[in-house]
Amino acid sequence: MSVKLIAVDMDSTFLKTDKSYNKPRFLKQYAELKQQGIHFVVASGNPLYTLQQYFPEIGHEIAFVAENGSHVMHQQEEINFSRFDPILLQQIISDLHADFADCMVLCAKDRGYIGAELAESSLSKLNIYFKKLQRVAQLSDVQADVCKLTLNTTPSTEPQALKLLATKSYVQQKQVDLVSSGFGFIDLILPNQHKAFGLSFLQQLWQVEDHEMLTIGDNYNDMAMVKQAGYGFAMANAVPELKQIARYQTGSNDQEGVLDVIDWVLSNEKSWESWQQDHLTMASI
C-alpha cells in the first residue's frame, strides 16, 4: 500500500449525524499523516468558509476541495475557482425562477445568496451548510462570481425536481451537470468540474498518481473521486450506487469509519480486509 493523499467527504462521511467528529482521535492521526508525508484533503459540496470552521487548529495548512470541486484551496492559497459564464447564469436563474425561486442559492466565493422568495423556515436547514448567507431582492442582480447553483429541495421532492431539471436545454446540452449531494440538495455545476476535477489540481501540485490516492464518500457527488482513486471507499451508510463502484467499504459515519481507514493507512500493513477483521476482533475483546 502506497497512499500519498487522503480525501474525505464531510456530511455523513467524516462528520457524524450531529455534525461532530472525534477531534482528539483525528488530530493525533493528522500529526502522524504529516510525519509520513501523507496529504489530507477535505472534499465536500459545502462552501469553503463553512468547511474551514470545522478545522480551526489545522485549517491554515490543509487543502480543501469545496463546492463539489470548483473551489480548491491549499494552505490558504487559492488553487482554482471556477465561475459560471454570467450570461448562462442569468439564463438559468430566469428559467428556474418559476419553479425554484423559493429554494435557490447562488454560491459565491465568500457567501451564498438567497432571494426574497426563500422562506424564513428554510434558513434553519440552510444555515447548517451555508454559514454566510445574504438575502437579496432579486438573484438576477447578484454581481459576484458564482461557482455553483444549489436547489434546496427535500428528499421526497428531489426526484421530481431532478426529472424537471433533466428537461432543461442547458442540462441536455451539457452546459451544466446535475449533482445530488444528499439531504435534498441538488447542485448545478460546470460540466465535469466535480470533486475528482478539484483533486486533480492537488495531485498535480504534489505529484500524486491516481493509484496513490484514497477517497471516501457516501453520496452521488462522491462517485467521480471514489471511482478515480486507487483506494476508493464507500461508507456503510452510502447510497447503493456508490457502494457498487467503490473498491472498499468502511463503517458508518457514526461509527467513525473514516478514522478507521486512516488508522489502517497509518499502520502501513496488511490488506484492508485483514486489518478490519483484526480491528473488529480487538473491539470485541
Q: Which residues are catalytic?
A: 9
3-state secondary structure (DSSP) of residue 225? helix
7 close to 216: Cβ distance less than 8 angstroms: yes
Instruction: Name 109's bridge partners.
Output: none
Contacts of 6 (CB under 8 A, 6+ apart): 33, 38, 39, 40, 41, 213, 214, 215, 216, 261, 262, 265
Cα–Cα distance measured from residue 20 to residue 254, given in angstroms and rounded to the nearest whole number = 9
At 61 the three-state DSSP class reads: coil
Pairing of strands 71-74, 63-66: antiparallel
Q: How far apart are CA 87 and CA 220, in angstroms?
A: 28
